[in-house]
Each structure stands twice: as C-alpha cells, then as structure tokens.
Amino acid sequence: MDAAGATQARVAVVDSPEEIPEENNRLMTRNPLTLFSSALFAAAVLFIPAIIQAQIPGGSSAREIPNEVQKADARVEQIIERANDHFRKGKLNLEDSKREQARDEFDKAVDEILMSGMDVRASQRLQTFYLELVERIYREEVPLVQQTATPVIVQAPANQKSDAVEVAQIQQPRQVGFVQQGFEPSPLDPLSKLILTQSEQQVSETQLADLEQAKNSLDFNFTINPLVQQYINFYQGRGRSTMESGLRKSGRYMKIARETFRRVGVPEDITWLGQVESAWQTRAVSSAAASGLWQFVRSTGAQYNLRQTAWVDERNGIEKPTFASATYLRDLAKRYNGNWLLAMAAYNTGALNVDRAISRAGAADYWKIYPYIAQETRNYVPNILAVILIAKNPAKYGFGGIKPDAPLSFEPITVPSGTSLRLIADAADTSVDYLQSLNPELKRDTTPRGENYTVRVPPGKAKQLASLLKRVPNDNRETARVISVAPGEEWQSIANRTGVSVATLQSMNSGVDLKNATKLFVPNNNIRLTNWRRSATTDSSASSLTKIKAKKGDTIARIAASRNLSADEVARLNGIAPNVQLQAGQEIKLPGAANTAGPKRR
C-alpha cells in the first residue's frame, strides 16, 4: 500500500474495475520513504493524504509535531492491544483443539494491523510487532518439532518377488496446528532503497543511440531516458544474479501472462513487470503486505475480484491475479490516454499520487513528473524498462545462454469441499509440496469447506484422481490417505504392513477387488503409509534413473534447465517443488539418460 492509501480507513469495492474512482485509489505499492524519513514526515504521512515526498510546507509549525506523534503512538498502542487480544484468543482455541476458531482469531490479529489504515513501516514499533506477530502465529500453526523416520524397504508377497514396497515414516499423532505455505520477501523493498553507483550512472551517447534503436522492438512506445541505461548497467554488474534468476523463473509463468495480457489488451512486453514486482514468486510479500506475483494489497485485490478468505488468498494464485493485473494496468492506461509509463507509475504509487505529480509538473509525461513522485516509483519505471529491453535481447546485454524454466504444466480438476491436499497428492502420485506450488493461493492443507474447488494437478493425473475421489466417503476427505498395493496382495498382508486392521481397510474400500486394485484408502492416524515400486531388475525405466548431488543455490528448475529436462518431471520424481532451494549435497534423481556432467561454462 502506498503512503496515500495508508491514510484511508476504507476502500469501496466497485462492481466493475473499468473506472477507477478517486476514492478507491489505494493502489498496490508502497512508499518506501517512510522507512528512513524523520518523525516529522511519519506524522505527516498518517494525517495528510497522498504526500509522496518528504517535503514539509514552509508554514508548518514544529510545535504541532509532538501532538501528531503522540496521536500516532496512541493509535499504534490501540492496534497492538486489539491484535494481541485476538492472538490470545486464538492460542486458547488452539489449546482446546478448536482449529477453525483459532485460525479465525489469528487472521483477525493480523488484519487488525493490515486493515488499520496505517502504513506498517511508518512506525518502527508497529513494524516490529507485526513481524513478531507473524512469527508467533507461524510457530503456533506449524509446530517446530517434526519427527521423521528413515523409509524401510520390505518384500512383496511370495508371488510378487519382482516388486518391492517402500514404507514411509510412521505418521505422528494429528497435530493441533495448521500446515500453511511459507512466504518470500518481495524484491520491491530492496528496490525502493537502491542507489545507483557513479559507474552505473555513466551513460554514453552511443548507448543512448542503441536504446533508441532497441525500443523499436517493443510493443509499446515510450521516450528513452539515460536512467534506463543506468539500470541496464546495474543488471550487467551487481544486479546480474537477479536478472539471471528472473530470466529463468519467468519461463514458468510467461506463457500464461502473455496470453492474458494479450487478451485484455495490454502490451505483452509489460508482463516483465512481474519480475520487478515479485521476482516471479507467487508467494512474495512486501513490508506493506502486498502479495503474489503481481503484488496486490488487500483493498485493490478485492476491487479486482480476488477472494481473500480464511481458506484462499487469490492474490497468490496464478491465472486470476494475472488477469486482475492486466485489467488494472489497462484501466490505468485509459486514465492516462494510453501512456503506459504513467500507468506503470500509478500501478506502483497510486493514481492519485500520479495525478498530483502531473498537476505539479504541468504535463502528463513520466519524465517530467519524475521530480514529484516517490523515490520507489522513480526507481520502479526505468527498472521495468531496463528489464524489458534485456529480456527482449538477452545476448545483446550479456545474458545469452540462459534457458527459461519450462512453462507451468497442470490439469485442473474440481474436488469436493474440504478435500485434504495430502489425499490429493497421494492419489495424483505427487507430493504436497509440489501440489502447493501448483496451487499457491491455498492457505491451508485442505481445499475450502462449503464449496467444490478447482485444483491444479500434474498433467495426466486428473482422471486418476477423479476416479479415486469417487470412492472416498465425504466424512473421510480430510483424513484419508492413499497407499499403493501389489495386484493380488492379501488384506492381512496389507494390514500387517500398515498397522490398520483388516476390518477398517475393508470398510474404507468397500467393493474393491484386490486382484485388480493398485491403490487403497487408509485412515491418516498413526499408520505406516506405503508405496509400491518395481525393482531395478525388472524395470528398465527405474534402472535408467541417474542421481546427482545438488550444489549450493541449486533448484530443481535450475538443474532441469541445465540438462534439457522438464522441471515439472524432475520435481515430481523427487517430490520437491521446482523453485525450492536445495541443500548442498542433496541427492537428486534425474529421469532417463540425463546429462550428469552439468552445464557448460558460458
């Protein structure tokens, strides 16, 4: 949220985002000047709407400042007191195993801060409390001690000697807490503080002439400014790793983004705004609580029909927030008569702030309003232009040979209310971690209650999942698990290796013929979960698997790209999401005759 937006207590949600009312312009991004401004400016931000520069009118009286600061401090105290009250109630509910009530109270505790109308960064005390509160809630919801056991391989029945079964760890008792996806820091916060070095600011006439030529390859028009080349210089130097990472990660979402922007009527090259906003992290969160690939704050997300409930936060999704972002940019461009630089500036700092800057500059031109906008927005627009130009011709700027990750691949399938992600992962032969990477908008380890929900599963698994879910009773969808069995295996054999009685197995798998069955349902409570797999002596595909040791900083996506493999396939094989950072020395399995020599030096 921006400085202007932080002063508004309410934001109306409009039926259509085609027009953007003045009072609704609490937009996405945030004014970073409050991170280092004086107490004088912090007080001004809280009580003077749409101030975007640390400038105090000459007529201001210093004697009034302590009163404003005192008012702000009192307001912070009230917010903290209300948030603590909700946290205490949530903890009591959690201790009583009232999970839903606890979750609601924890959500309310966070909302007391985020919906207070205050910029969290404007008060050091509020910012510190907010970060500590999130950590406290996380520790309550996700217990720190998670015991694991080494998988054990046991033999199949006598008539199935060619097979083996992998016995997973024994499940610990059901935890009182919740399983919730983690978050990544948004790159916008460090960007707001970025100061270019003297060498980065050196721009030659030849470079400007090259930029004039290069901009002709873009699908929108703008005026070149030396600042664009300065940010290119930054990415060619100390920002190189950021640019390289963005070029790789963009591959997962760029196909969806380009198709969406094109359909909405936004230049496709502007999809690279996603790199500056989130570094292509679906769960990126800024210090001002903007979230997702396209960094929506709660109010703007709601205005553009992104649901935010106790179960889902669609700002962190994939298709819906991409459509919302494109629609939002299109609306802003209409506001500024097709000027995409002003639209991007307003996307960052808010249309009201851009309007006032235009009024002060006397012209609707980004480079003319530049002195009158926040430092973050000054960094923001030329940064995006630099990223677009590099991405358009990576080799020209020294980024040749970087292979983008494979496009996100999935199948949508609608599942019943309150279906466990663990159950879906078991039935779809994948991991919860990978399933969450395909469904980052889900806040819990189950789909929303009270509605059928469409989840994304690995390609080719939707039909299998649908078939299995038909067999699960409604009251077992949150607790059941799936195990693999060998065709012809006896009930007693399965009971022996799972610790589940024959009677329970038969009641949960009524009508199943074990002679043809490959998967069974079992209760998720202190059992040994199993997965059958072919032995290497009889399965040529298994014997062709190769293993490598991950290096520091490696991800599945990076390893797959360096060996011309599908990131999704390698992720499923290892049960690890493509962009999760691996530990140095971690063993990774690769399919087929993969190139284990690693990437060549560029």
**Same domain flag for 436 and 344:** no
Q: Is residue 225 located within the same domain as residue 94?
A: no
Statement to judge: residues 198 and 261 lie in one domain: yes
* pLDDT at res. 97: 77
Query: 317 in a domain, yes or no?
Result: yes
pLDDT (average), residues 563-572: 78
Looking at the fold, whether 226 and 324 belong to one and the same domain comes out as yes
- Top-confidence residue, 234 or 601: 234
Whole-Å CA distances, 420 to 147, 219, 446, 482: 21, 44, 4, 11
Asked whether residue 212 falls in the same domain as residue 357, the answer is yes
Q: Examine the domain organization and report whether 229 and 337 are in the same domain.
A: yes
19 belongs to a structural domain: no
Q: End-to-end CA distance of the chain, in Å?
A: 41
Average the pLDDT over each of 17-31, 112-126, 205-219, 491-505 and give the range with the smallest value: 17-31
Complete DSSP assignment for 413-471: EEE-TT-BHHHHHHHTTS-HHHHHHH-TTB-SSBPPTTS-EEEEE-TT-HHHHHHHHTT
Q: Tell which of 117, 142, 167 closes a domain.
A: 142
Q: Domain limits at 83?
A: 32-142
Neighbours of 304 (CB within 10 A): 23
Q: Are residues 274 and 301 in the same domain?
A: yes
SS3 label, residue 180: coil
Domain boundary (365, 397, 429) is at 397
In a domain, residue 273? The reply is: yes
CATH of the domain at 586: 3.10.350.10
Report if residue 21 sits inside a domain. no
Specify the range with the lowest mean pLDDT, choosing from 25-29, 177-181, 262-266, 557-561. Answer: 25-29
Stronger pLDDT, 554 or 325, i.e. the higher one:
325
Greater confidence (98 vs 330) lies with 330
14 inside domain: no
Token representation of residue 30: 């945030």
Tokens of 411: 């199948």
How far is residue 471's CA from residue 326's CA, in Å, rounded to a whole number?
41
Beta strand extents in 51-162 (DSSP E only): 152-155
Q: What total of structural domains would you count in the chain?
A: 4
* Between residues 590 and 183, the one the model is more confident about: 590
Residues 236, 343 within the same domain? yes
Residue 222 lies in a domain: yes
Q: In degrees rounded to 5, what are phi and psi of residue 408?
A: -55, 130
Q: Which residues belong to the active site?
A: 277
For the record, the structure tokens of 25 come out as 């312009």
CATH at residue 356: 1.10.530.10
Same domain, 49 and 167: no
Check whether residue 192 and residue 130 sit in a common domain: no
Q: Which residues pair with residue 532 across a beta bridge?
A: 165
Determine, yes or no, domain membership for 495. Answer: yes
- The pLDDT, as a whole number, for residue 189 is 82
The pLDDT, as a whole number, for residue 143 is 45
DSSP per-residue letters across 348-399: HH-HHHHHHHHHHHTSS-HHHHGGGS-HHHHHHHHHHHHHHHHHHSGGGGT-
Identify whether the C-beta of residue 293 lies closer than 8 Å to the C-beta of residue 283. Answer: no
Quick one: what percent of the chain has pLDDT higher than 90? 40
In a domain, 265, yes or no: yes
pTM for the model: 0.63
Q: At CA 238, angle to CA 235 and CA 242, rounded to 5?
A: 55
CB 530 within 8 A of CB 165: yes
What tokens were used for 16? Answer: 């259509």
On whether both 391 and 255 belong to a single domain, the answer is: yes
Q: What type of residue is 550? A: A
State the CB neighbour count (10 A cutoff) for residue 22: 8
Q: Please report how the helices 124-141 and 65-95 are oriented relative to each other, as an axis angle in degrees rounded to 10.
A: 10
Average pLDDT over residues 157-174: 37
Comparing CA positions, the residue from 55, 41, 42, 35 lying closest to residue 286 is: 35
Q: Which residues contact 185 (CB under 8 A, 6 or more apart)?
A: 284, 285, 286
Q: What is the pLDDT of residue 216?
A: 93
Residue carrying structure tokens 């059941």: 480
Q: State whether 165 and 286 are in the same domain.
A: no
**pLDDT tens digits for range 334-376:** 999 999 999 999 999 999 999 999 999 999 999 999 999 998 8
Q: Which helix (H) or strand (E) element contains residue 538?
A: none
Highest mean pLDDT among 74-83, 328-337, 414-423, 456-465: 328-337
Give the residue among 311, 312, 348 at the shortest CA–CA distance from 328: 348
